[in-house]
Amino acid sequence: MLKYSLKRLLGSIPVLLIVITLSFVIMRATPGGPFDKEKKVTPEVMAALNAQYKLDQPLYIQYWDTVTNILKGDLGPSFRYPGRTVNEMILEGLPTTVELGCYALIFALLLGITSGIIAALKKNTWLDYIPMTFSMAGICVPSFLLGPVLVLIFSIHFNWLPVSGWDSFAHKILPSFTLGAAYAAFVSRLSRGGMLEILSQDFIRTARAKGASESQVILKHALKGGMFPVISFLGPAIAGLLSGSFVTESIFQIPGLGRYYVQAAFNRDYTMIMGTTVFLAALIIFFNYVSDVMLIWVNPKLNFDKGQS
């Protein structure tokens, strides 16, 4: 286990360096700068601003400073919020983003696993066709389209749920559904496929031949193996929920990390974009590692060298 962990840790370093390099190159290649939207100032003032944030340095020096500061855990000051650091802003918005991601994940797992198991048990019936049809629709409809449609129906037309905010439980229903719908669809189809494969195995027929009830067959024998594809999907799914929440937060005006990231993209806030991107990349690597360990725990036949997803 220690060897496997060290191998994954060392393997993540080049990935993070690639993320940093690509982010740096794309930001610098994009037209405009962090101070272009400021009111018109004299060239001397603009030069002073660039010197304060070291934007007047050669690009290779800026890149080196960026890498070394990130390795130290210092993501730098925000260009658009004077007196505030990127670390502070990430810590401020992260709890709300994580909360939204947790709600969406719970919704996706409950709905996806339940519908997937039912579809597998009732193969080629309406209890199979209807959930899988909705699953395909959930995969095809993006969150930036689903969110406004839900607002139009449940907030504007019926006036059942609030349009935006993050204050009460009612405020959290539509964003959680919007973010979790696509992942519920994936989980549903993965659950169905995994359960169908397990239910066709010899040990399931043996359990039924010995007189085990259908609930015992499902819960005791089939569920653990049938959820294998879902567990392998959890790592990328959790990372996707955190990064995908940025669109949902913008639609419903949720005060999370996505709000700062979207504003940073429009304002060319280099440090905020870089810090958030690297932070999310590290989270993705971490959750993929946790997912791999869970796979090995569920299926001991896998070893640490071959158990990577």
27 with 274: CB under 8 angstroms? yes
Asked whether the predicted pLDDT for residue 6 surpasses 80, the reply is no
Minimum mean pLDDT among 142-151, 164-173, 259-268: which range?
259-268
Asked whether the predicted pLDDT for residue 309 surpasses 60, the reply is no
**Helical residues (DSSP H) of the chain, grouped into ranges:** 2-29, 43-52, 59-71, 86-121, 126-140, 143-150, 169-199, 202-209, 214-216, 223-226, 228-252, 257-267, 270-298
In CATH terms, 89-298 corresponds, of 1.20.1260.10, 3.40.50.720, 1.10.3720.10, 1.25.40.420, to 1.10.3720.10
- The domain locations on the chain are 89-298
Confidence of residue 39 (pLDDT cuts 50, 70, 90): low
Mean pLDDT, residues 131-148 taken together: 85
Q: What is the pLDDT of residues 63-85, one digit of tens each?
A: 998 889 888 888 888 887 777 88
Count CA within 13 A, CB hemisphere, residue 189: 14
Q: What is the pLDDT of residues 282-301, one digit of tens each?
A: 888 887 777 777 766 666 66
Mean of the per-residue pLDDT values of the chain: 82
User: What is the Cα–Cα distance from 253 to 174, expressed in whole angstroms?
Assistant: 12
Find the angle CA(272)-CA(277)-CA(279) to the nearest 5 degrees: 95
Per-residue pLDDT at 303: 56
User: What is the Cα–Cα distance from 225 to 204, expressed in whole angstroms?
Assistant: 11
Share of the chain above pLDDT 90, in %: 9
Per-residue pLDDT at 40: 67
Tokens 């869970």 belong to 294
Confidence of residue 107 (pLDDT cuts 50, 70, 90): very high
Per-residue pLDDT at 308: 44
226 with 112: CB under 8 angstroms? no
Q: The tokens of 9 are what?
A: 């840790």
Q: Which residue has the higher pLDDT, 242 or 141?
A: 141
Mean pLDDT, residues 227-236 taken together: 79
The CA radius of gyration of the chain, in Å to the nearest whole number, is 24
Closest residue by Cα to residue 49 from 65, 59, 61, 37:
37
Mean pLDDT, residues 236-261 taken together: 82
Q: What is the 8-class DSSP label of residue 303?
A: -
Which residues touch 216 (CB under 8 Å, ≥6 apart)?
A: 207
Share of the chain above pLDDT 70, in %: 91
Per-residue pLDDT at 298: 63
User: What is the Cα–Cα distance from 294 to 1, expressed in whole angstroms?
Assistant: 12
Per-residue pLDDT at 2: 67
Per-residue pLDDT at 153: 92
Per-residue pLDDT at 106: 92
What distances in angstroms separate CA 68 from CA 22, 86, 121, 194, 284, one per listed residue?
16, 15, 55, 45, 21
Most confident of 24-38, 61-75, 225-239: 61-75
Phi, psi of 85 (to 5 degrees): -100, 160
Most confident of 24-33, 130-139, 177-186: 177-186
How many C-beta neighbours within 10 Å does residue 170 have? 11
User: What is the Cα–Cα distance from 84 to 11, expressed in whole angstroms?
Assistant: 33
CB burial of residue 237 (10 Å; 0-12, 13-18, 19+): buried
Asked whether the predicted pLDDT for residue 221 surpasses 80, the reply is no
Q: What is the pLDDT of residues 46-62, one digit of tens each?
A: 777 777 778 778 888 88
Confidence of residue 165 (pLDDT cuts 50, 70, 90): confident
Per-residue pLDDT at 175: 92
